[in-house]
Every structure is written in C-alpha cells, then in structure tokens.
Structure 1
C-alpha cells in the first residue's frame, strides 16, 4: 500500500538532513544544508532503496528568506509505482490543525552508534503562530527530547510536513525558547513563489496544482479515504448489458485495465470547417463544465465510471483533476436535475462537472447559461479498435489472477492471448467487422462473443449483425433498470419493421440521411400495420423514441437523421427488399459499390431459390464486363454470397470459386482486400507455385495470406522460398499472425534471411533466434533485458541492429561479444552507459538526443565515423559529441519533420579536429544555431536534406 511516508529520503550534503521526493528523482529539502562550493557533493538515499545517489542542485532559496532547495538525483531513488499521487497545499484558515506530522532523520532518533532511523513527529499545526515570518509552526504532541548540546532535531531539516496526505511544507528550524517542543517549517506556497515554480516548469511540467485547505479535520481525511475506496469498488468494472449470449465472466471486466481513451470534437451547428478529432481527456481538460453527447453504446457511461474511480484516487491526469459526473435521467427528472445542478454549481463554482446525454435527450445549449460547452463523442477508428481489443483481453486475463488452480489459470490466460491475436487479425482483414465495432459497446460485444464461442464469431456478417440488432432493440434498457424513459415500449420485431422502412428509402434514394419529416412519413406508412405501436404514440413520438433508445438512429444536425452504421441500414434494407420480393431491383445495381453491402446481407434473409437467383445474377454480371475492377468486385461478391448462403448446390459453388481462381494474383491493395474478405476459404484458389510469380505478384499473395492467420502458414512456407528479398521481407513481418515458435519452425527456419532485416517484438520471438541461419539485420522493439538479448544473439553475427522503445535496458554490455557490429540505432531507449561499444568499429550510430547524457561518463569511441541524432524541438546539442566521438566526420540532426530550434555548442571542444572536418546534415526544417564554429573554419560544413522517417 503506497503512502506519503514512502516519499521520505535522507539527504547527505554539507550537513545530514532530510527531504521529500516530489518525483522519483526530484527532492525538496532545506537550502541551509547545501554547500555551493565548486567541489560540493550532495547525495540522497531512500529507505529500502539501493544506496546513495549523487544529486545536482537545481534551485535554492536564501536560507534567511526561503530555506528550501530542489535537488535532482542522477537516477530514480524509488520506482515510480511506489509513490502515491502527490498532493500539496496551503492552509487558508488560521485555526489549529491537529494530527499533522513531520518526517525525517533527526539526531534524537539514532541507533547502533549513530545509524539513521526515521522519525514521525506528530503534533498540532498553528498557522497564525508563524504567519509574520512566513513559516508554519508545529507543536509536538510528544514530550520534548532530553538535553542535547545542540538541537535534538538536527538532521530533521528538509523533512516533509504533512496534514493527512497533503504536503504543506518542509522542516527548517528548532526555534529558541520552546525547549524543542516546536518545529518551524517553510510553506510549499512560499517556496513556489520564491522561484521553485519556474524551475519545476522545466523539470516537472506536470506538477499538480496547489490545493487550498480550510483546516481539514482528521476525521474528514479518514472519511475521504473510505469514500474513495467505496467509489473505486463500485465503478471499477464495466459491463455489457442486454446480450443473452454472454455469460457472467464475458460481460464484466476490469475497467481500469480495459478503459480506452475515446475521441470527440466540439459539438454545435455544422460548418464547412469541421472541428478536428481530439482525445476526450484533452477536450475535457480545458472545459470545466461539459455536456457530452453520444449515441447508445458510444462509451459515455464507461467514461463517467472511469473518471469517478480515478478522481477519488487522484490518479487522473492533472488537467482532469477534481472531476464529477452526471449521467442520463428519465425525461420527467431532467428539468429538476438541471435546477439542482445549477444550484450546486452556484454553491461550489470551482467544481468540474460532466453531463452525459443521448443526442436528443435534451435540446442543444441546454446548460449553456451555466457555462457548459458541448462535445460529441466520435466512433473509434482502426487504431482505436485494435487498442480496445488489446485492453479488453488484458483485462480478461486479470480475471484468473486469484485462481487457486494455477495451471488452469495459466491455460486460460494463454487461450485468451491466442484469441486476442486471432481477433486482431480478423479486424485487420474484415472491413465489415471493423465497421460494426466503431463503438466501445459493439466492440466489447464482438470480443465477448469471440471468447464465448472459443474464437468463432458468427459465421457470417449477417448473423453478427442480427445478434447486435437483437441486443440494441431488445432488453438493454431493461437490464439497466431504465424502464420506459420515453413512455414507449417496443419489441424487437416492432423496431425492425419500423427501421426497415427508413433503411430501404435511404438505399433507394442513394442517400445516407433524411430529414425529420421524411422519417416521420416512412414511419407513418410502417405503422399502418402495427396497431399496438400506434396506440403508444404518434409517428413523431416513435421517431424520438427510436433516436434516443434504439442506439441505431442518430440526428447529426437539426434536421438530418441517419443510421449510426451504414451496415445496419444495409442489413435492414436487405430484409425489406427480400420481404417485398425486390431482389431483381437489387441485382440491377450489383456493380454499384453503395448497393453491394445490401446484396452481401440479403443472402442471410433468402431461402434456397432466392439465394440461387442472387448468386447467378452476380456470376452473369462478372462474365459480361470487360473492366478488371468490375470483374474482381463481382466475382468476389458472388463468393461472399456463396459463403453466406444456407444452401447452395455443388454446380453453382464450383462456378463461383473457379471464377475466383481465374482472377489470378492480386496486383493492388484493393484486390488484396477483396481476396482477404473471403477468409480461409480462398486458400485452395490462390497460386501454390510462387516461383511462377514475380515479386509484386508474390508479395500481393503474401499480404492475403498474412490476413488469414494460422490458416495461411502452409502456403506462406512455400512463398518463403521465393528468390526476391522483397517477398521474404514481407513474410518476416508477419510474425504476429501465429505463435512465434510455430512461425519460426515452419516458416523462418526454412527461409533465406541473410539479405533481409528481421523484426522482433515479443520475448517468444527472441528465444528461437539461435535456431535460425544468418540474418542480415535485426530490429528489436520493446523492453528486453541485456541477458535475453545476449542469449538471443549468442554465436551469431550481428552487423546491423536497431533497438527501439526499450526503456528497461540500462547498458549495451551484451554487444561486447559482437565487435563485428557496424550499424547501431538506439531509439526510445534510456541507457546509462555505452561501454559495451568499446571494442566495436561502428560505421554509424543513431541516437536520440536524450541519450546524450550518457556521454558525460562514456569512454571515447574513436571508431564511430557518423552519428545521427534524432532531435526534439528545443534540444541543445553540445561539445560532448566531439569529446565522446573524436573520430567523428559526419553528424546528422533529424527533427522528425518538426520545425525545431537546435543549438550546436562547440565552444568546449579542445581536442583534435576530425580528420575530414565535420559535416552536419540537417532536416530542412531545422533551425540551427552553431556556437563556437570559428575554430572549425571552412572544415565545418552544413548540409540540409530530408532525413526523417
């Protein structure tokens, strides 16, 4: 359990003192302990840490005015996850505050002949006592220490003063006259005002704001902690309501793990200038009062729950701190709720407030007079869906953490990992599935169904949409105990009949939206045969109910209504076409892209004769065209329909798939995608002789095979024998489609790899590396230890290596066994030394500029000929380069396409100049200032050319 006591450290400088960790490596202490002489050394140590760490002084106030200093340790003193969120504040009241404490390592608390031991001095804070001197005064509840030649509190200086979890100041003095029963402290607010605030902007830009406390009672703080636990317990899990096919384990999971950042934009009347998508946290951070509109299942409730559980634990991003939430209410309660909310905010004007509503639950600008701005939640994009799948399965794996049967738990976690990989692959391949998963609700439904059915989603898109429609039009509100908030109750069949009329009108009109009057007109026609719906309300009232409660319709502007997904529109329209015997009308539009989804979906509604009729029409349409694009679309569309048909005779089945075989290899991404949508059933109809295909054709087939997961492995093995490095590189990029050991044994171990670069990310991809033949180069992503890299590269040549986003690797000692290395790239790494390169003769070394700090202690590496730096705007690149790399002849500064301002400081370089001078290659947009260039003369050459990724 993390607590404020974990922030205490001992400070060893001119004197021994105490300090408080603001971050794992920033320490606030007293300035009178710091010696500012040239050779002064400051060190710090945390209880239970790994020993003392040297520190630099970033800022210090005058001891007679503001006795505080900020130190930065050379490395973290404790892991970040060991520290609780920092709260610091100032007392606004003058009344005494009981139950405060100062922590530290005073002289009076020693053992075994002088070893340090921490002390907690508990007492009452009397703010008025030190107000004239700008101090806090703590009166100790303990009996004062016995007689000492000097203060018994020596060593306590710099120790933190806390009231409950809030840091108020740091101890500074044992004032005379009180016989050691009183301790003075410098308020945090005083230190910030005296210059600490400006320094923190550079070294800790995410520092929390200063809280203003009105004299907290200890009982209040205890209640606050209990309340936080209760909120966290209540709102730390998310659920899927209303889908009968999900069991208990599949419809509930850990919210803290599974939460996905959603995107939104500013709501309001449509203009030609559409607001950009932004993360909801960024938008809410600058809007203390917000109305958030979103469709059913868009993630509103999940967002509020996530905010609530993190707000009480103070683990929200700073821009979202102190946030409250209000979710939907029945119609009759909305106006009273508005009045209550307005009164509450007038009493507490600094409260952050979020109101979530369905799009038409209240009128626009409903809370504008109270200072609220409106935002609109947006559907998830492709990357968001993949992130959601990863988070959902991670949360599902956590469910087995407390299982007594460890073997069973591990088996289930492995199963979930395999399911995650398969579903991610299916989302990449299946655009229709992605279209359905644009909201967190439906994406969660797909994940849960996939798990429930052991990796088997409904066999066709038709069955998946049917299950989702039944959920959205069925019992979701009943499961959530909402009742009938719009005063209507519609059955699933009622909803389908009503929505079918709107959907078919939109398809026939070639439109994606209709006006309110047009929608009411279609519903009036549909309600002619739905008497029990007519009895509950008018067509206009029915439309409002469908907009608010079905989750299928949405009103994008004041008079523009559309389905939340085009696929739902097409599914319902297909049902209407079939029920009205209008299949010939559909086939007449078979070559038009906007009608093809309706044709794909109509098969699920068709009987045997009707399905045969549709597929035959598609075969004819393909045979009669002379356009390659139309030929591909019609033959693959016929195959999709054949796969979805409940019954299809053998002759028609053969005709469909022989047409697919005759298409040949794909020559474009569009053709690759068309074949990929057919899934594993396309495998027998792809070329099994890669030697007969050129690099472009073979690469196209490989891309299709990669989309098929495990099913594509046998044919990928054949394509791995292709002579083209381009084809084999594409195959090497496909490790993610299957188990790493299986992929290695069945594909990579049979391939030539010495002329390609092999990408690796997972530990299970590193472990089989010794079994492979020669490899041209390696790109290793993510965190891998030095030992695991040493084992992976043992007994093999490593000439070209990229290490990317490895934040756990501290050294390159594993490269000491590889003096043959020629090209090394370190991107997103946090190394502490480069000594492992001492015996190598690198041609090129790529570094990010935040790695330059390791050059302070690195031995010279004279054999590095060229260094390429990845620079962020504002970074200062100095003479350490030339000191660490005396043989350097080329320096590349790449600002990643950003407009950067970089200073190259050469004034401190006193060694020999590079033999060939120094050539600096720049991204064209980099603004470079060179200091001390005179010594180089014309041997310093600046050359600008694009060098970014």
Structure 2
C-alpha cells in the first residue's frame, strides 16, 4: 500500500507539472492563437527533429536520425558563479549567525570576496538557459552550435516534455539563422516577419508573435553571428538590442558565434552570459562513436572497438576527434577504409572529399542517377569556385541562380564538365550527388558544413596564389581556418612566404587582441603545413612567446588553439604571479593532449585556489585515469571543490584514496557511484546535479558533516525532504526547480538551517510563503523578485535579516519592506542594467548594508547608517 501511495503521489505531481505547462501555453483568450501554436510547434518538431550524422548515408543506412535519439549533450564553460554558488548564500550573514565550526572553517576564506573563486565554470550546454536567460554561446566550426539550437527547439516544441528538458516545454521557439536572414543584404526582420524570414510557410494570426513575446514565453535562437560579414555585425547587435528593449522580460535568448567573431564583452552590457562549447571529452567521444556505429547498421559493429582503441592510442587522430563533425568523419573514414585512418587534418579532409564525391554513389550502387559522370578532381574544381565566392564575399549561403552562373563560368576550364554540354545538368549533378552541397530553401545553396567551404576556398586561393587576399584577412575571424588550411595546401616555399607575411601583419597590428589572433593562426598553421623551414618555425614560436603569458581567460583559450607547440612557450609556476598562473593553466588545460599533463601537474600545489580549481575543472577533457594519476592525486585539497563529472572520475577518487571535503557531482554520475563516493567522503559541501526523474537522493540521508548543500534537479524529479541529512549540521541549502513533495514545511527538521536559496525554484505561491514564514530559524534568504507578488497580506518574516534579491527592471521594493520589516542587509542582483529606485527602503529602519552592481536613485531617502556597496 505504501508503494502504491508513493506512485500515485508521483503520478499526481507529474500530471500537475504537465497541466501547468499546458495552461501556460494558453495565455491569450483567442482560440485561433492556440490552434495556430499547435500547428507551428508541430511544424518545428518535424523540421528540426532529425539530425544528420555525417558519413552514415554511405552505408545504406538512414543519413538522419531522430534528434532525441542522436543528440549528445555537451559541456560549455565560461565565467560564472561556479563553486561560489553556495558560498554566496552566506554572504551578508554575520559570523555570529554561523555557529557551526566546520562551516566557518570551510568558508571563512570566501567571505570577503565570494565571487573571486571558481571564475570558470562548466555547465551542460542544453541546461544553461535554466539559470541564464540570455546566453552568447561560442564554439568552433563543427562543435555543435546549430545542433544545440535544434535540440532546444525540439524540447520546446515536443508534445510531451522531453526527459531532462522540461524547463523549456511550453515555450515557443523562434529559430533565426542569420546566414539566411542576411543573404541579400536586406534589413534584419521585424518581429512580425520572424516566420517568413525563417522560411516557415504557416500564416500566423495577426499579432501572434507579439503576444507570445510580450507574455515572456518565447525562446529566441539567433544562430551564427560569425556567418554574416563583420561590417554587418554591428547592425545585428542593434537589431538584437531593439528586440530586447521591447521583449526582454521573461523570454530566453541564445545567440551563437565562432569564438573570435565578436569581442569578449560584445553583449555583456545587455545581460548576456558568455559560454564556450567545450571540446568533446573522452566519454562523449566514446558515446558518439557507439551511437554512430549503431546508426550505421550491423555491418559497422566490428569497427567500433578498433576505432575507440585507435583514438586512445593515436594522439594525432584523437586530437581531431573533438567535435561531432570531425568524429562523424573519422567514423565514416575508418569504416570506409576498413580500419585504416589518414594522418593529419588535411589528409582527413581529402579522404572525406574522396569518399563523398567519388565513392558515395559507387558504394551504394547508384550508377549515374543524374546522367552525368564527373571525376573527383573535376567536381572539386567546380565546387571550390563556389567556396571561393562565398568566402571572399563573407557569406555561407548563395542564391541558386548566382551559384549556377558561377558554375557555368567555371565549366569551360574543366574539360570533363565542358564535354557534358549542358551547364544546368552539371550544376544539378553537383547539387544532388556531390554530398557537399545542399538547398536550405528552394532559392538558396550552401555547403553541408562550413568546414568544407573553408577547405575548398583555401585550395582555390592557393592555386591562384592570392597571398595578398589571404594576408589582408589575417585578422578576420571568418578567414582563420581558411588561412590555416591554405598553409596545408601550399608548397613549402609558398607556405614559408605566407607565414612570414602573417608575422608582418602581427607586427603592424593595432591591438594586442589582433596580434594574438594572427600569431595563433600562424602557430596553428604549422600543424597544417606539409613542410616548413626550421627558421620560419622558430621565428613564429619566438614571436608567439612574446604574448605569453596570456592576460585573460579569453586570451588563454585563443592561445590554446596553437596546440602542443604552445606548451613549450608557457612559463612554470615559479615565474608567474597568481593571475598569470591561472591564465597559463587555462591555456594548457584547453590543449587536449597527454603532453599537457606534466605541465599542469606542476601547478597542483599552487597556493592560489583559482589555479587549482581550473585544474579540477579540466579533468573531463582528458583521459580520467591518466589525468587522475598525473594531476588530481597531487592537488592540494585545501578549500578545493572537486568536480566529479562521471562514474569513471568517482571511481578514480576512490581508487586513489582521495576523500575531498567539497564535492560537485555531475549528471553522469550514477546513483550507485554517488552512494559509494558520499559514503567514503562524507563531504562538508555538496553540489549535486541531477537531470531526469530516474535519480534518487537517498544517498544524502546518511551524511554527518554536511554544512552546505546545492541541489540541481530537473523539474520532473520527484524527491522527499526525508532524503536530506537531518543529522548533519546543514546550515545552507539551495533548492532546485523540483521542490520536495512535502513543500517547505518539513525543512524545519533541519535544526541548523539558517540560509535558504530559492531563486531557481518555482514561483513561491501563497501557500509556500506561509510555509516559509514558519521556518523561524532562517536568517538569510535568496529569492526572485517575481515571488514577492504572491505573498499573502499579513505574512511577514521577522527572522530574516539578509535578502539576496534577483530582479529584472523594477523590483517591487515596497513589498519587500512589508515582508521583511527587520531586514539588515539587502543584495540586489539585476538581470539588466536598468536604474533602480531604492527610496522605498527608507521603511527599513534596521537596514545597514545595501549591495548592488547597478545605478541607484532615491538614495537620499535612506538612513545615514546604510552602507552602499557597489
């Protein structure tokens, strides 16, 4: 009977979640809106619900797979709260409130500057919008930016909540690929034109998009800032800012770009958090390879394990398998060549082109379906003209008629194509059978991936020896890969000339950022080149050393693109101050090679916590066992929070006898591994990430030393307050989107709890406020300003002395004054840069501290004793 009651309770909770989401989808009384929205979401699910897996179509298998089966969740890193999340819970609370000695001993170091530590954090890219409503996501070509947009769209448009992605269900996605919106140089679309601009054929009711965005239900996905010319990016930012000014409230925004397309603070003033897609970690590569071979059919199974072994043993190939595109090509080539792989990036691309252009139809016994037979070389010579035009004009899409014209103009110089006699048939053959081109719309043509465009444009530029054109674009992010690949295509003397010219450009650069970019392009071109004279190589490395150490995390990541050669340029810990040491470690930790481990291990006992934190955050990028034995086992554990992303990492901590006091547990750690690790460590601080309702939190109940707990759960997870360790001195607690089944009332059993963070939780209903008011031990509270409107009249929390309030434009401070009449410290965290009027705070006679990061008005009304900290 008990089990039946529990299952019924869980079913009711799940039903309530779905019902609430359905109600959210019907904010407007006009039934036409609801009917259209259902059609629109179905259209998006069909359009974006499948993922192309490169190379699969060579083997009589489906080239596309359902996205919810094929999608691989990746990590993103960036500046953020990181491990200071729970520490911030205690900020502003007087030390006299922290009676627990373990709590004091662990967190005293962070009280003066709780945001200093752990500046770099790692999050699951598809869950980043849970916490940050506006994100600028950077990623290399092929890293999965567009696929992520597809996945978010599918999660929002699905008929039933997608496991782990419920936070988006009920939102309305608007997918805006900039390469398509600006292909004719026209103005970016007004809100009313979003659907037509994105080639959606459905006619929306008048004003529907405005009503959705005004209600804060939108998911706006702006894909590819880097795929429009640099001169047009300022116009795109103005367009985006206008949208934010009109519809910023409540909606979620994702803008994607290549890493160096826009400067670091390009959207920072508009409240955007910057994240960068991480290279695929070893576990992610393994998962991808397994899924690829499953998709390719029974005949591919025998190649799966040999490829995994090759990726582990062959570092050159392993370094290429860092994103979904390259992993897919490597899988296809490994099977196509019956277990043998080309060495180096250029050879890999050439083999891929051969596979797509010449062997594709032959392997599938297709004959000549277009009636045209062209050799691999003839097709490349024609297609590279299109790549050249697109690159020179700063585009990734071309009008179909213009593409036909360019092809027709190139045909006379290619005898095989000229012999066909009909340019239209040649163009149709290239479009339909080459495997390199596709039609996103009936009027446009693009490459199946930008990487192939860059590779073929570089080939054409080298054949023409347009070195002046290459060098003149040395500081242009859209040309970085083109220049690197040009070094690979060039003959030795040509390559030396190109590299020397790049050094000249670096000498004349008007800023350190441009100089660093050009030098890194030159340094990485060394790995692409077939042969480089020793003096040119030494000169490039010597000049790159002049910008070492990097001065910021952004510079560090840019420098890391130089590869293993950079490791020899970085100084050791004895020659660096703390900031330079941190940036050097960031650079080395982004060079995913076993060669980086000895350098990183030298910093394992560094006195600066930020440096050691970067070392532990880098663990997922490397082989778990090798990194644990070289780096993790040597770390000074003082105040260090250990990030444990998966079962292998948890196993390594146990195998090596490491028992950290501060732990962060990632989504890939199973309940069984979690229980073993927590039993062994009994941590003082724990941040627990969980996605999906299959996880259990029962492993927490036996903890005896826990002082601070951050629970990161998906809103579908069902759990109980009985899972919390009542016997531990739990002083600070952050609750997730999924509250315990019993609500807040059973938190009273936690006798030491004085700090509660609810800002990521569901809206506080009237009943929740009543339960919260009954928790009379709470001294510090973090909430969202939207919660204040739901507090019933007459409810006050006299016991709360410190409030952290996250707000949008105009927080209702008068409500806050009535709710917390004895408040002593207020911390305002804005999601925008709006000025805040704080005159209402004059009603708090005991207020002593006001901490804020934005401009205030009305301060003249505050008591003189109030200290304003900005």
Instruction: Return the TM-score normalized by structure 1.
Output: 0.53
The 1:74–1:922 alpha-carbon spacing in structure 2 relative to 1, beyond 3 Å, is same
Q: Which residue of 2 aligns with 1:946?
A: 829
The 1:589–1:576 alpha-carbon spacing in structure 2 relative to 1, beyond 3 Å, is same
Aligned-residue offset at 1:736: 0.3
Structure 2 counterpart of 1:469, from 353, 365, 368:
353
The answer as to whether partners of 2:659 and 2:681 remain within 8 angstroms in 1 is: yes
* Alignment partners' CA distance in 2, 1:944 and 1:527: 68
Aligned-residue offset at 1:753: 2.1
The answer as to whether partners of 1:254 and 1:395 remain within 8 angstroms in 2 is: no
Q: Would you say 1:841 and 2:729 are equivalent positions? A: yes
Q: Would you say 1:393 and 2:289 are equivalent positions? A: yes
The 1:786–1:615 alpha-carbon spacing in structure 2 relative to 1, beyond 3 Å, is closer
Q: Which residue of 1 aligns with 2:218?
A: none
**Aligned with 2:642: secondary structure?**
strand
Q: Which residue of 2 aligns with 1:893?
A: 783
Q: Would you say 1:690 and 2:641 are equivalent positions? A: no
The answer as to whether partners of 1:903 and 1:929 remain within 8 angstroms in 2 is: no
Specify which structure has the higher proportion of helix.
Answer: 2
**1:650-799 correspondence to structure 2 within 5 Å:** 650-669=534-553, 671-687=555-571, 689-709=572-592, 710-769=594-653, 771=656, 775=660, 777-782=662-667, 788-789=673-674, 791-794=676-679, 798-799=683-684
What is the Cα-based RMSD across aligned positions, in Å?
5.8
* Alignment partners' CA distance in 1, 2:631 and 2:279: 29
* Alignment partners' CA distance in 1, 2:486 and 2:303: 43
Aligned-residue offset at 1:744: 2.7
The 1:419–1:252 alpha-carbon spacing in structure 2 relative to 1, beyond 3 Å, is farther
The 1:426–1:940 alpha-carbon spacing in structure 2 relative to 1, beyond 3 Å, is same
* Alignment partners' CA distance in 2, 1:366 and 1:478: 37
The answer as to whether partners of 1:421 and 1:737 remain within 8 angstroms in 2 is: no
**Aligned with 1:54: secondary structure?**
helix
Aligned-residue offset at 1:824: 1.7
**Aligned with 1:837: secondary structure?**
coil
**Aligned with 1:804: secondary structure?**
strand
Aligned-residue offset at 1:239: 8.5
Deviations 1:241-277 (A, max 9, x none): 576xxx99x9999979852399xxxxxxxxxxxxxxx
* Alignment partners' CA distance in 2, 1:492 and 1:944: 65
**Aligned with 1:851: secondary structure?**
coil
Aligned-residue offset at 1:396: 5.5
Q: Would you say 1:240 and 2:55 are equivalent positions? A: yes
* Alignment partners' CA distance in 2, 1:456 and 1:680: 25
The 1:556–1:454 alpha-carbon spacing in structure 2 relative to 1, beyond 3 Å, is closer
* Alignment partners' CA distance in 2, 1:842 and 1:723: 28
The answer as to whether partners of 1:258 and 1:392 remain within 8 angstroms in 2 is: no
Aligned-residue offset at 1:715: 0.6
Aligned-residue offset at 1:541: 4.0
The 1:915–1:410 alpha-carbon spacing in structure 2 relative to 1, beyond 3 Å, is farther
504-513 vs 672-681, which moves further: 504-513
The answer as to whether partners of 2:51 and 2:70 remain within 8 angstroms in 1 is: no
Q: Would you say 1:865 and 2:800 are equivalent positions? A: no
Q: Would you say 1:74 and 2:25 are equivalent positions? A: no
The 1:778–1:532 alpha-carbon spacing in structure 2 relative to 1, beyond 3 Å, is closer
Deviations 1:809-849 (A, max 9, x none): 6455655442x432222221643243653333332222236
Q: Which residue of 2 aligns with 1:803?
A: 688
* Alignment partners' CA distance in 1, 2:483 and 2:491: 14
Specify which structure has the higher proportion of strand.
Answer: 1
The 1:725–1:845 alpha-carbon spacing in structure 2 relative to 1, beyond 3 Å, is same
Aligned-residue offset at 1:851: 2.5
The answer as to whether partners of 2:72 and 2:288 remain within 8 angstroms in 1 is: no
Aligned-residue offset at 1:944: 7.8
Number of equivalenced pairs: 620
Q: Would you say 1:527 and 2:405 are equivalent positions? A: no
The answer as to whether partners of 1:416 and 1:451 remain within 8 angstroms in 2 is: no
Structure 1 counterpart of 2:71, from 253, 256, 260:
260
Q: Would you say 1:538 and 2:422 are equivalent positions? A: yes
The 1:647–1:815 alpha-carbon spacing in structure 2 relative to 1, beyond 3 Å, is same
The answer as to whether partners of 2:703 and 2:728 remain within 8 angstroms in 1 is: no
The answer as to whether partners of 1:754 and 1:774 remain within 8 angstroms in 2 is: no
Q: Which residue of 1 aligns with 2:92?
A: none
The answer as to whether partners of 2:644 and 2:666 remain within 8 angstroms in 1 is: yes
Aligned-residue offset at 1:750: 1.6
**1:457-606 correspondence to structure 2 within 5 Å:** 458-480=342-364, 484-507=368-391, 519-553=403-437, 563-583=447-467, 586-587=470-471, 590=474, 594-606=478-490
Q: Structure 1: where are the runs of 5+ without partners?
A: 1-42, 44-50, 56-71, 81-196, 208-234, 263-277, 280-297, 321-363, 369-375
* Alignment partners' CA distance in 1, 2:16 and 2:644: 43
Aligned-residue offset at 1:678: 2.7
Aligned-residue offset at 1:593: 5.1
Aligned-residue offset at 1:719: 2.1
**1:154-303 correspondence to structure 2 within 5 Å:** 201=19, 240=55, 258-260=69-71
The 1:871–1:575 alpha-carbon spacing in structure 2 relative to 1, beyond 3 Å, is closer
The answer as to whether partners of 1:590 and 1:618 remain within 8 angstroms in 2 is: yes
The 1:654–1:860 alpha-carbon spacing in structure 2 relative to 1, beyond 3 Å, is closer
Aligned-residue offset at 1:563: 4.4
The answer as to whether partners of 2:647 and 2:669 remain within 8 angstroms in 1 is: yes
The answer as to whether partners of 2:710 and 2:734 remain within 8 angstroms in 1 is: yes
Q: Which residue of 2 aligns with 1:164?
A: none
The 1:755–1:198 alpha-carbon spacing in structure 2 relative to 1, beyond 3 Å, is closer
* Alignment partners' CA distance in 2, 1:928 and 1:877: 20
Q: Which residue of 2 aligns with 1:851?
A: 739
Instruction: Return the TM-score normalized by structure 2.
Output: 0.57
Structure 1 counterpart of 2:709, from 819, 824, 831:
824
The 1:574–1:918 alpha-carbon spacing in structure 2 relative to 1, beyond 3 Å, is closer
The answer as to whether partners of 1:834 and 1:858 remain within 8 angstroms in 2 is: no
Pick the structure with greater CA Rg.
1
* Alignment partners' CA distance in 2, 1:535 and 1:390: 47
**1:635-650 correspondence to structure 2 within 5 Å:** 635-650=519-534
Aligned-residue offset at 1:734: 1.0
The answer as to whether partners of 1:547 and 1:553 remain within 8 angstroms in 2 is: yes
Deviations 1:866-894 (A, max 9, x none): 22223224755436745874423344324
* Alignment partners' CA distance in 2, 1:418 and 1:459: 15
The 1:551–1:669 alpha-carbon spacing in structure 2 relative to 1, beyond 3 Å, is farther
**Aligned with 2:595: secondary structure?**
helix
* Alignment partners' CA distance in 2, 1:499 and 1:813: 58
The 1:695–1:501 alpha-carbon spacing in structure 2 relative to 1, beyond 3 Å, is same
881-890 vs 496-505, which moves further: 881-890
Q: Which residue of 1 aligns with 2:858?
A: none
**Aligned with 2:420: secondary structure?**
coil
* Alignment partners' CA distance in 1, 2:452 and 2:512: 30
Q: Which residue of 2 aligns with 1:373?
A: none
Deviations 1:671-709 (A, max 9, x none): 33443223223322322x122112332222222222223
Aligned-residue offset at 1:752: 1.7
